Chain A
């Protein structure tokens, strides 16, 4: 592949990810609406929201670090998308691999944490304390899953993980080969998205006392963009590890939306966990399932 083609891919991949991510935000809201017997928002609502937030007249900043936090939160995901293969586009997936992607996905969280911390509001700091604790909770089962998958396929190269699954057909998919790890992975994915019952750290229902307390205008807009990326990244990574990646665009998008629909649907059925209960639940169930699954993989 020529350098020009590669650079074009690097440009297109985040853009596509963003568009799919917007669609996922819409799906999430529509599912919520259906379960609560509402009509739900119109098709372009996610886009309208971003335009509205960016266009607000009052944009209050608490200083440079507040701004940079948002830049890092969005920029980190823009970079992460180029490490996650899409149908026909591998970007720099082979130059980074699974472990690099997992750690790159922490950069946006760090950016957001810096931005919120700079706001000098204790509610924000408490929220970040909770968010990082939640990360400690769901990343433990997540890395068990990462290890299991990488060990099973003998590589951390996402491109070869996808190739191996597609060559073997559905029977070779990660989810069929490693069902327990797939369950643990779904659990971890749910926590990573911060949806109910694990949404205490975002506290969307009581915005005045969560990490978003000082985020308004395009700060909020930036985090909205980040959320779109996050939804896409988490579900596309799951599809890559367990569902054979994307044979073509149609399958890829259907799989990504289907994966996301599971935690989003479950989210509306549960009340909320306290932070320590969240940690307990993640360190118990998905870790246990994951370790048993890992034992099967390594036998």
Chain B
């Protein structure tokens, strides 16, 4: 039998799952899984043109088939690379000390990768649905396995996922009725003659179905706890890529199937806005609100998870703009963010591994004990905040510039406000964890083990290299744009070169480091010799400091800002969610009572009254 690279990829992914199910509790299973993810990456690297898998299933007159185009390939590379990094991170000392069920964790990770590859390779709408379901359930497994708070959050996610699946099913029925087939091309053809109302229905159904995974507002509440409470490798994988499956699916249905031009032409009744504006504003609000929620977090994992939700907004915002620069920015941000978030989460979980918690009010001064983790976190926060020279800047620059060229001042302002909030919040992260006073109980801790440091620093380096030379990955992005039928970005190794706006990161990064060199020469080359002093040798208004004295200002770092905007945190979305859930539980109680005939008289009376009212009115 002749296997093409795609068959090989699926085969290895399935073998990986099987192996983890069988030998997952073995000590070296993490290393085996890492090697197998490496093999999957190798198989992916051999796919150069759109490839169709040579296997498929058929029944009831339908076929499930898989194929990879440039878009699926791009997402698959990031998926498998994230799994590789996460698995490596957790393969050594971390796994040996892991108190939970190893087999469950490793199989859940393998199952997620397989399910996501199935989703990414879906050749028609039915396969997309199957892949979507598989991804949802595999994701649930990974989120729930820690138990406790994590399980509750995962159950909440499951409710969103099932509601989303129903929405997706409804959308597919709508498309099947119109086109008579689950083929992408037949569905696209049937959309041409579709009226405004069904089109709106379709768009909203897709937004609900896939928006929950991407955690678009207002479907975002489940994500932060579900992602944060998972064991380290799971959290790294979830944070880096899993939510982005929603972005992939939205790209397929909104951009490839419906098309940005149709979204632009579809007006919101009684307003001057279009469907494109609506989605762009949902994305913008998804940037702002979760970012400022992140600012209020006191746990490093939650802080990062909330930022993950916000960064998804940038991706969708860029994508829905439709221009070459905007869509490239959105897709590039997916790549850059995966490396960034993986770096950050690995650094934070390294602290958890050594200290046992990630409470931002009970840490500080760790740079003295864990300098390499500090370095990784520093590179990560610069990238997350979108500052040069890291890669996060490049993709955000593309989104800003696209908004500027499109003439959208308020969306531009919204995305910059998100960035400013990110800067505040990530400074709090690094300040509360790594800077300031080292606590006496942390004086003897060690740097993270090598097995955790290597993937962490590798990811940070990747985020730096793709920042200095974005052209290295922009080729993949341009190919994905082509696969989506979008205008393709003309790029250079250093970024973009166009008359309206150019960016050459090679020069910018070069000049920045030359500037740092000058700064270093000025600092170290001139003036008196510096003396290192003890952290307690510090100005304290005439008092003497002792090791017992907490001299690290961490809680409510932005007190002045909170005086002003603190009142705006009303938890409206939590209120909305609990209102909906209590409404649903009321209906469920009533339905349950009716089914079990708890008080038949009451239902008879209510039914008769309603019937009478209907007849009379």
Interface residues, chain A, CB within 8 Å of chain B? 10, 14, 53-65, 67, 70-80, 82-83, 92, 94-97, 99-100, 103-104, 106-107, 110, 113-114, 117-123, 125-126, 128-130, 132-133, 135-136, 139-140, 143-144, 147-148, 150-151, 154-157, 208, 213-214, 217-218, 221-222, 225, 274-276, 278-280, 294, 298
Contacts and interface: CB of A to CB of B under 8 A. Distances in A.
B397 interface: yes
Interface in B473-514: 494, 499-504, 507-508, 511-512, 514
A133 B560 contact: yes
12 contacts: A59-B528, A96-B503, A107-B387, A110-B382, A118-B367, A118-B435, A120-B436, A133-B560, A136-B424, A155-B501, A276-B561, A278-B560
B319 interface: no
B430 A114 contact: yes
B423 interface: yes
Given A139-B420, A156-B401, A74 B522 contact: yes
Given A132-B558, A279-B560, A279-B561, A61 B526 contact: no
A115 B266 CA distance: 52
Interface in B501-544: 501-504, 507-508, 511-512, 514-520, 522-524, 526-533, 535, 537-539, 541
Interface string B396-418: 01001100100101001100110
Nearest to A81: B515
A130 B537 CA distance: 24
Contacts of B417: 140
Contacts of A275: 559-561, 563
A133 B364 CA distance: 21
Nearest to A102: B416
Contacts of B371: 64
A188 B518 CA distance: 29
A110 B528 contact: no
B393 to A, nearest CB: 6
A98 B374 CA distance: 31
Given A97-B503, A120-B538, A150-B404, A130 B409 contact: no
Interface string B159-178: 00000000000000000000
Interface string B350-367: 000000000000001101
B507 A95 contact: yes
Given A92-B508, A103-B388, A156 B500 contact: yes
B507 A119 contact: no
B558 A133 contact: yes
A61 B532 contact: yes
10 tightest A-B contacts by CB?
A275-B560, A75-B519, A79-B515, A54-B527, A117-B435, A122-B553, A78-B515, A75-B516, A95-B504, A74-B519
B413 A121 contact: no
A106 B387 contact: yes
B501 A156 contact: yes
A125 B528 contact: no
Given A92-B504, A100-B508, A157-B501, A276 B516 contact: no
A128 B431 CA distance: 10
Contact of B397 (A57, A58, A100, A139): A100
B186 to A, nearest CB: 42
Contact of B413 (A75, A79, A106, A144): A144
A222 B523 contact: yes
A183 B260 CA distance: 38
Contacts of A157: 499-502
The listed residue with most A CB atoms (<10 A of its CB), out of B416, B430, B435, B526, is B435
Interface residues of B, number: 78
Contact of B527 (A59, A94, A140, A150): A59
Contact of A74 (B374, B523, B532): B523
Given A63-B368, A95-B502, A130-B560, A122 B512 contact: no
B512 A14 contact: no
B401 A99 contact: yes
B512 A76 contact: yes
SS of A interface (majority): helix
Interface in B3-60: none
Nearest to A110: B387
The listed residue with most B CB atoms (<10 A of its CB), out of A94, A144, A147, A221, is A147
B437 interface: yes
B184 interface: no
Contact of A225 (B407, B522, B535): B522
B522 A99 contact: no
A201 to B, nearest CB: 9
Given A55-B527, A99-B400, A147-B412, A125 B393 contact: no
Given A104-B512, A129-B560, A58 B531 contact: yes
B545 to A, nearest CB: 9
A75 B430 contact: no
A213 B539 contact: yes
Contact of B517 (A75, A97, A110, A130): A75
A121 B551 contact: yes
Nearest to B295: A136
Contact of B539 (A10, A125, A208): A208
A60 B537 CA distance: 10
B421 interface: yes
Nearest to B403: A147
Given A214-B538, A294-B409, A95 B551 contact: no
A133 B424 contact: yes
Nearest to B536: A120
B557 interface: yes
A56 B527 contact: yes
B427 interface: yes
A103 B387 contact: yes
Given A96-B503, A113-B431, A218-B528, 13 more contacts: A67-B524, A75-B517, A95-B494, A104-B508, A117-B436, A120-B538, A128-B431, A133-B424, A140-B413, A151-B404, A156-B501, A222-B522, A276-B564
Contact of A75 (B500, B520, B554): B520
Given A72-B519, A122-B551, A144-B413, A97 B501 contact: yes
A123 B553 CA distance: 8
A63 B424 contact: no
B386 interface: yes
Contacts of B401: 99, 156
Contacts of B560: 129-130, 133, 274-276, 278-279
Contacts of A136: 420-421, 424, 561
Given A71-B519, A107-B387, A279-B564, A129 B423 contact: no
Nearest to A79: B515
A213 B537 CA distance: 12
Contact of B516 (A72, A147, A294): A72
A74 B412 CA distance: 29
A38 B522 CA distance: 33
Contact of B431 (A72, A76, A117): A117
A143 B561 contact: no
Nearest to B419: A103
Given A100-B503, A276-B563, A56 B528 contact: yes
